[in-house]
Amino acid sequence: MAVLVNEKTRVLVQGITGHQGRYHTKAMKEFGTNVVAGVTPGKAGEIVEDVPVFNTVRDAVNETGANASIVFVPAPFAMDAVLEAIDAGIKLVVTITEHVPVHDAMKMVSYAKMKGARIIGPNCPGLASPGKAKIGILPNAVFMEVNVGVVSRSGTLTYEIVNSLTEAGIGESTTVGIGGDPVIGTNFIEMLELFEKDPETERVVMVGEIGGTAEEEAAEYIKGNVSKPVYAYIAGRTAPPGKRMGHAGAVVTRGRGTAESKIKALESAGVKVAKIPTEIAELIKKDL
């Protein structure tokens, strides 16, 4: 069992004929993902990496039974692409696109909830379940199939921490990059709930960063709802007070959202917090 994706996931790629769409379609297929369709308006009939291209998501869904989508559409058109996917019945939409206007993101997320769909992102690296499927841009080589669930706001830190887990012989059940924008479709708490219910996930790693209160809220949720061991890393420990850095969501105001406040909240919930990314693997190995 995997979280959100598995061997039965049938993926379509919106924006498949662009450079990023082509490149990552190939990488996803090499990972073992069942990529069944691509969508680019006006490009119906083309073939990309042995994947048929359609003009609309609805055409692709009707012909191939696709049930998940990944969006490589430029920011001004990303919202329309996501809404099109949801209207066509897609229940999981992974939105890689960055610089999506915040009001567009709000509309996307609200519409998805109304339709019973889930958005990962925007501005995220996607998700991967080793041995099953990947919908995203995470590098194939860093993964190994075992039992640690990873949820992260940062793409590059995700790669570093997953790679260190793999090198330590501690593989992953599912890794999800939720994105660092102020408005995202899936948050820490929702992922913690999924990992708690997943029998193949025995431990959970959270990767957070300064700004916002998502990590503090997750800490409160962990106290009463998560029985599995949780480990965390918070980026931005050395950021100057009041500094805005990194993602659009990494904004610290009035003493809230600092690395110190997040670490204190997590530790009070029983979470072991690493000082550097690679220490996550060391903390887990001590508990095995």
Long-range contacts formed by 269-273: CB under 8 A, 24+ apart:
269/219, 269/220, 269/222, 269/223, 269/230, 270/222, 270/223, 270/230, 271/206, 271/219, 271/222, 271/230, 271/231, 271/232, 272/229, 272/230, 272/231, 272/232, 273/231, 273/232, 273/233, 273/234
Its pTM stands at 0.93
Q: Annotated catalytic sites, by residue?
A: 247
Name the pLDDT band for 253 (thresholds 50, 70, 90).
Answer: low
Residues 35-51 pLDDT 10s? 999 999 999 999 999 99
Q: Same topology for domains 10-120 and 139-287, yes or no?
A: yes
Render 219-270 in DSSP notation, one character per residue.
Answer: HHHHHHH--S-EEEEEE-TTPPTT---SSTT---BTTBT-HHHHHHHHHHTT
| Fold assignment, 139-287 | Rossmann fold (3.40.50)
Q: CATH number for 10-120: choose from 2.60.40.10, 1.20.140.10, 3.40.50.720, 3.40.50.300.
A: 3.40.50.720
All structural domains of the chain with their residue ranges: 10-120, 139-287
User: Taking a C-beta distance cutoff of 8 angstroms, is the pair 94, 136 a contact?
Assistant: yes
**What value does the mean pLDDT take over residues 162-187?**
96
Residues 2-46 pLDDT 10s? 799 999 999 999 999 999 999 999 999 999 999 999 999 999 999
